[in-house]
With several copies, the nearest count.
Chain A
Amino acid sequence: MNIKVKQQKIDEELFLRMHHKVLEEWPTGKEVDLEEAVEYNRNLPDSKNFMKATLKQKAEGKTTIWPRAGTPVLEEEIALVKTLVASGIRHVPVTIDSYTRNYQFEKAGRALEESIRSGKAVLNGYPIVNHGVKNTRKVIESVDAAFSPRGAVKLAMEIALASGMTAAGKSAFLEFGSYEKNRTLEDCCEHTQYTNRLAGYYTERGAVITTDLHGFVPSGVFPLSMNIACMVVDALMAAEQGVRSVIPLVHYNGNMAQDLAWTRVTPKILRKYLDRHGYVSTLIPGTFCNQIPLFPVPQSMGGCFGYLGYTAMVAALGEATTIYVRTIDEGAGVPTREAHAVSYEAANWICNVVRKQNIQFDLAGVEEEELITEMEVDAILDKVFELGDGDCIAGSIKAVEAGVIDSPFCPNKHVKDEVLGIKDAQGACRYLHFGNLPFNNEIKDFHRQKVAERERLEKRRMDYDVVIEDFWAFSKGKIIGS
């Protein structure tokens, strides 16, 4: 196959031409004046700059909450971000609705009007393109915190950054592996190169924009090495376009040793690859952790609080910069403002008392998990660079085709979906089906032994049905399915 997208910085002229076409996608594009926007963004206080706020917080030894939240009506959105900041949040996401994510700005506009009329949100996020720069600046100016758009397409990102958001959390792998069915990875890379280049443009002019890395987000129980390997590619792509601040998002999966190991090893691995490829000036200001993809059964309020409390505790012990805890409404629907407040209050309570004690916590098994994770990541990336003759984009595209990059329960039809993860007896994630992953026998045997151990204990074969049981187990307070 011939791959057009290359790991190569878009030259400025070309970029500016693309930029002006993007602004024509919707009337509100006119509100963006790039030079004025950069100026506005550069002059924001440090507390509103995602990288500076994160570095400051890391230095203070705090763990705060990083939620997901977005609601269609402007006044509601302002009230929402105020609630979030009041509950101790310093990094405010603006989750964008699904129509906007799919370029259906007109449909989003109609749903927005209906939401205003009916007083009931019929959109699942904030339609940033319809709101435009003027309105969105009102949101950002309403509180003292750093903003990040969630799920921004090109124009959405233009409006977000012009409005004073200081993070450009767009990941080729997240789109490809989590949100898309038909689009190719190449297409997703091409889009992300643009938003990264935009972030680089701001950055080079003194308005540092942070890109958060997602990688290939596991759907359900799956070791994190695949996700981390793809985060590395996300990071390299961003750095090449001039991004100087990247933040990994680490996905917990319930096993404390693994969650802590992944929290520690991810920035280490990222640093290794960024340096190796010459992006030494690209910083990793913090590590953000996520309570996902497991989630509480809506019915059990105690379970919701238990789950988010446990997650906050692990994050605090692991010295995560932020933790994305799911609200008590997670399983029920878009959380109410009250659900946000009480959930983060509980999580904050725990993060505060733990971090303030600056606890030195040594957990058996963490080193081993770090080791095996790094081995797996290296194995995947070696193959990726080999397939791409040194180009991480070409390599990734071929790797997906070859099943070297693969993930279970994936929405995208281009993904092989021939791999499966499962829990071992301690509740740690292991590979059950390796599909075409480029692992040596040492790695494979490690996983096979762990799975075999559980088979012995439970006297049953570990198969797809168990995978599904495991999928639901943790959110119900069990470390493995049964």
Chain B
Amino acid sequence: MANKPTIITGTVGNDAHVIGTKILSRAFKDAGFNVVALGCLTPPDEFIKVAQETNADAILMSSLYGMAEIDLRGFKDKCREAGLDNVLLYIGGILGVARHDFKEDEVKFKKLGFDRVYPPEANLKGAIEDLKSDLKKKGRMN
């Protein structure tokens, strides 16, 4: 179906936390997206590979174990090289180690090239709306 955007979900790196990305995947599926769920322990490169194969519109990445920053250094460049400049990059979960101000994460991961960064226990309805409007802006959804 033409107008069914494709998104890739999964928890990046050596992170085995899967509950969040499973709930997220189901929520976006129910919201009418075509979801390719990679589950946990997904290497950054796999996100890129699958995004190419499926010509995805967005990658919704999760990370909870606090080491996403190390996992994702240079990820955006790789996306560009792979010709995925146009794929939206979202990330959420628990992005830093230890209690800290979420603002730090936001700055950090925007620098790493993510379009949207979500705080712990982010509300999914909101995220779904965000993605829809971002895709509309890009004319990839109507």
Instruction: Spell out A's residues near B (CB within 8 Å).
Output: 98-99, 101-102, 104, 111, 120-124, 178-182, 219-220, 297-298, 329, 331-336, 339, 409-411, 413, 464, 468, 472
Is B19 engaged at the interface, CB distance under 8 Å to the other chain? Answer: yes
Contacts of A413 in B (CB 8 A): 39
Residue of B nearest to A101 (CB): B14
Tell me, rounded to whole Å, the shortest Cβ–Cβ distance linking B101 to chain A: 10
Tell me, rounded to whole Å, the shortest Cβ–Cβ distance linking B73 to chain A: 11
Q: Which of A98, A101, A413, A468 has the most CB of B within 10 A?
A: A98
**Among candidates A99, A178, A332, A464, residue contacting B16 with C-beta atoms closer than 8 Å:** A178
Contact B67 A409 (CB under 8 A): no
**Among candidates A98, A180, A220, A331, residue contacting B121 with C-beta atoms closer than 8 Å:** A331
**Given contacts A333-B96, A333-B98, A99 and B120 within 8 Å (CB-CB):** no
Q: What is the CA–CA distance of A329 and B97 in the complex, to the nearest angstrom?
A: 11
Tell me, rounded to whole Å, the shortest Cβ–Cβ distance linking A294 to chain B: 12
Chain A interface, >50% SS class: loop
Contact A297 B121 (CB under 8 A): yes
Contacts of B22 in A (CB 8 A): 409
Contact A123 B67 (CB under 8 A): yes
- Interface size (B, Cβ < 8 Å)? 26
Contacts of A102 in B (CB 8 A): 14
Taken residue by residue from 13 to 33, chain B's Cβ proximity to chain A (1 for < 8 Å, 0 otherwise) reads as 111111100110010000000
Contact B40 A411 (CB under 8 A): yes
Closest 10 CB pairs of A and B: A411-B18, A332-B99, A333-B98, A181-B41, A98-B14, A179-B16, A411-B40, A409-B19, A124-B66, A334-B98
Q: What is the CA–CA distance of A123 and B17 in the complex, to the nearest angstrom?
A: 16
Is B65 engaged at the interface, CB distance under 8 Å to the other chain? Answer: yes
The 28 listed contacts between A and B (C-beta, < 8 Å) are: A99-B14, A101-B14, A104-B14, A121-B97, A122-B69, A122-B70, A123-B97, A124-B65, A181-B40, A181-B41, A182-B41, A220-B19, A298-B121, A332-B98, A333-B66, A333-B94, A333-B98, A334-B66, A335-B98, A336-B99, A409-B19, A409-B22, A411-B17, A411-B18, A411-B39, A411-B40, A411-B41, A413-B39
Contact B66 A468 (CB under 8 A): no
Q: What is the CA–CA distance of A120 and B67 in the complex, to the nearest angstrom?
A: 12
Contact A333 B16 (CB under 8 A): no
Contact B67 A124 (CB under 8 A): yes
Contacts of A179 in B (CB 8 A): 16
Contact A181 B97 (CB under 8 A): no
